[in-house]
Copies of this chain bind each other. A is one copy, B any other.
Amino acid sequence: MALLDFFRQSKPTTAQLAKERLQVIVAHQRAGNTSAPDYLPKLQKDLLRVIRKYVKVGDDAVNIGVERDGELEVLELNITLPSQQ
C-alpha cells in the first residue's frame, strides 16, 4: 500500500524546496454477494472537483492510480500543490 510513499519519495531537504502535497485514498471493500455498480470512477471525479474548491491544481499535478485485490479496490489521488496559493 502506497500511503505516504508519495510524501516520502521526494522528501525535501530544505524548507525552500518543500512542496505542499495532498494524497487522497479511497478504499472500497465490496461485500461478497453484492452486485452494486462500481461508483469509484465517478466518485474520483467528484473528489477532484471538491479538492479543486480549495486548491488550484492543474491536471498535470494530479497522479491517479487504482489497485484491485479481490473484493478490495483502492483509488489513489496524489496531488502536488502549487507552492504559492
* Interface, chain A (partner B; CB < 8 A): 1, 3-4, 6-7, 12, 15-16, 18-34, 36, 39, 42-43, 46-47, 50-51, 53-55, 71-72, 83, 85
Contacts and interface: CB of A to CB of B under 8 A. Distances in A.
24 contacts: A3-B3, A3-B25, A4-B27, A7-B29, A12-B31, A12-B32, A16-B33, A18-B33, A19-B31, A20-B28, A20-B29, A20-B36, A21-B28, A22-B26, A22-B29, A23-B25, A24-B24, A24-B26, A25-B26, A25-B27, A36-B85, A42-B54, A46-B53, A47-B50
Total copies of this chain within the assembly:
2
A19 B31 CA distance: 5
A18 B31 contact: yes
Interface SS of A by simple majority: mixed
A43 B34 CA distance: 30
